[in-house]
Amino acid sequence: MYRYFPELDEYSFQERFKRNLANKNLLKNSVKTVVDSVQSAKDLNKFFGTPIEKLVPIPLCAPPHIYKYKNMESAEVEYISKKYNLPSEYIIYPAQFWSHKNHIRLIKALFQLKTKKNLIVPAVFVGANWDSYNDVVQLITDLKMEDQIFCLGYLPEKEVVALYKKSIALVFASFAEYTNLPVVEAMVLGVPILCANTFSMPQQVGNAAILFDPFNINDIAEKILLIWSQSDLREQLISNGKIRACELSDKNFTNRWKELISITIKNK
């Protein structure tokens, strides 16, 4: 992603140099390289000259802890929610605090709904504190949204699953991802999804999400309002998500890896 967004703080000159060197060596010496999407394969071919036939797209699946805690009792979900003094309804965004995760525009969209629509949509942010964390907290303070936006930090896997299950929707606002895990996690857990329309995210979610322009605060706000106010839409997204989750299952993920390993060994 540093090829597209070199200006981001997380992609310093030193970091770009290090990644370029590492990627060139890894790609040159690999028999096959697994990527998460067709677009990421095309970009490795474009930027590093890696032959397309060496690049194998295998879509992400939800990690094991999602399946482990998927059927958590509602009483435990409520207990964990109350532990953090969360409101009864909220949107969730699990993402580390890097600038490309786009917390700032998401907060501004929520502020717009509050000031222009008189609608308060609580948000729960879960993730480790990195370079943009102080800016996020400062903006929340400046806009006097401390009672609306909850930054909970890095949480145990079980608690994150509980907060997913309690949420009205996942809002995945990052603009610099080919694909990502939270949207697949939400599908498995039966959570409606809003996500950015960049790179391969539309292909990853299919019809299981409402898409928005992550650089357009108005669009983010409009899509949050849409999913917040329409329960029928949320139910349809949940249904679509369950179907898509089956296509992106851990079983399919494992079988694709097994097939790749088998073919690679035979052709060695």
3-state secondary structure of 98: coil
Place of tokens 């949107």: 91
**What would the pLDDT profile of 168-197 be if each residue is shown by its tens digit?**
999 999 999 999 999 999 999 999 999 999
Cα distance between the two ends of the chain: 32
Tell me the percentage of the chain whose pLDDT exceeds 90: 85
CA 114, CA 224: separation in Å to the nearest integer?
12
Segment 88-93 shows an average pLDDT of 98
pLDDT digits (tens, 9 = 90+) for 134-179: 999 999 999 999 999 999 999 999 999 999 999 999 999 999 999 9
Could you report the per-residue pLDDT of 15-40, keeping only the tens digit for each? 777 877 887 888 888 899 999 999 99
CATH of the domain spanning 64-247: 3.40.50.2000
Let me know: does 223 contact 193? Beta carbons within 8 Å.
Answer: no
Domain ranges of the chain: 13-59+249-267, 64-247
Chain center to CA of 101: 9
CB-based contact 177:96 (threshold 8 Å): no
Mean pLDDT of the chain: 94
Helices (H), the chain: 13-29, 38-48, 64-68, 74-83, 103-116, 133-142, 157-166, 181-189, 201-205, 217-229, 231-247, 250-267
How many whole angstroms separate alpha carbon 154 and alpha carbon 141? 20
Residues 104, 95: Cα–Cα separation, whole Å: 13
Burial 32-59 (b: 16+ CB within 10 A, else e): ebebbbebbbebbbeeeebeeeebbbbb
